[in-house]
Amino acid sequence: MSTAYAEPLSFSLTEADALAQKAARGAGLGWGMAEEAGFAVRWLCGYGADGLGALLACLAAQRSMPHLVPGQVIGQGQGLLCPLHTGSVLLDSVEISDGPLAGPLQLAPLCQPLLMLPFLAQAASVLGQQLVVAYKAATVALPGPAPLPVAPSALCGALRLGLGTPLGPEWRGPTARVPQGRAACDAATLAALELLALKTTVPATEASRRSGAGAGTNDND
């Protein structure tokens, strides 16, 4: 992708989003969930986090699907909870009056928990109330000007989710504010994501080379 820029490689958020979608699809997620991966990566990169790295690690791991029981999200299947499916179902459910975000919620340990934060930030915006993620001895409140934990690994382990203080008008609304910025990642992450993205493509055949884009006649006139 790059020949002239040194590491860390710099991307527009649009590129990061598009690459995330293709890689997620290439790794086997449905197209709609791949769009969520793009949204999450864009949001994280906009805040300066390594969204692409987190996505790659997530896609490479075995993940369990979220299963909702009252007051809890538990994993179904092998591996840590998938942050994309978990974040999506929580955000999808935000307007359900007795839904999972109506009260305190216990979450089983997540794979790459950073990837769930964009969904929580948006859910909080819809609720008009901060969502507080409690882990080990600290908390992160979403959304906010500094929504990321100091060390991404801090979110490992079981999490508790609860409602925090009401949001000011600048944070309320149907969509969480996505900051503008640039995305960055190292060459190895880029290469691995591009390899996954390539799985969404189809190798050429002689027939497709002839007819694929439709140029059959001379185009040099």
Partner 1 sequence: MTQPHSQPATPRSYYRSPAQVMRLARMGSAHPMRLSFLRILLRRMRQDNWRFERHLWQVDARGVGRAVYCAHGPKRSYSLVAFAHDLPDHMRSDRVIATAWDATFALFDGVPSRQDLDRLQQNVPLQEAGRIGPRELTLSRANRSVRLFTHVVGALAAGRQPDATELQEVGYLMRTTAVYGAGKFGAADRADIAQRPEMAAPFQAEMLTVWLIRWFTVDIVNHLATQQGGAQAVALVPELCRQLGVGNSTGLGMAPFLVRHPVLLNNWIFAREEALARVRALPMATPQQLVGLRAALADAEENASSWRSSHPVQVEKLASLRADLACIRDYIQTWPGTAPQPWNALWHWGEATLSLEGQEALLALMLEPHGDFVDGLAECLSADEQASFRINGALPLGQLRQIVAQHYAWALRTDFNDPAQMARFWYVSEEKLEPRLGDRHAEPGADQEQPLAIAHLVQALWADLQAQPETLPLARFLLAHPQHRLVVRRVLRAPSHPFAEVQDNLIADTMLPIDLMRCKLAFFGASHFDPRSDKWVRISLFRGMPYPTDLAQGAPA
Binding site for partner 1 (CB under 8 A): 1-5, 10-15, 29-33, 35-36, 39, 65-66, 68, 85, 88-89, 91-97, 99, 122, 126, 174-175, 178, 180, 182, 198-205, 207-209, 212-217, 219-221
Nearer Cβ to partner 1, position 99 or 109? Answer: 99
Residues 6+ apart with CB under 8 A from 131: 101, 120, 121, 123, 124, 141, 142, 161, 162, 163, 164
* C-alpha span between 121 and 74 (Å, rounded): 21
**Cα–chain center distance at 185:** 15
* C-alpha span between 73 and 80 (Å, rounded): 12
DSSP string, 59-88: HHS-EEEEEEETTEEEEESSSEEPHHHHHH
Nearer Cβ to partner 1, position 131 or 149? Answer: 131
Smallest distance from partner 1 to CB 137, Å: 32
Residues 6+ apart with CB under 8 A from 16: 41, 42, 45, 51, 52, 183
* C-alpha span between 131 and 117 (Å, rounded): 10
Nearer Cβ to partner 1, position 89 or 141? Answer: 89
Q: In terms of Cα–Cα distance, which of 33, 77, 83 is closest to 58? A: 83
Nearer Cβ to partner 1, position 13 or 114? Answer: 13
Instruction: Tell me the C-alpha to C-alpha distance, in Å, between residue 126 and each of 121, 147, 171.
Output: 9, 16, 9
Smallest distance from partner 1 to CB 80, Å: 17
Nearer Cβ to partner 1, position 15 or 144? Answer: 15
Nearer Cβ to partner 1, position 65 or 158? Answer: 65
Smallest distance from partner 1 to CB 189, Å: 16
Smallest distance from partner 1 to CB 9, Å: 8
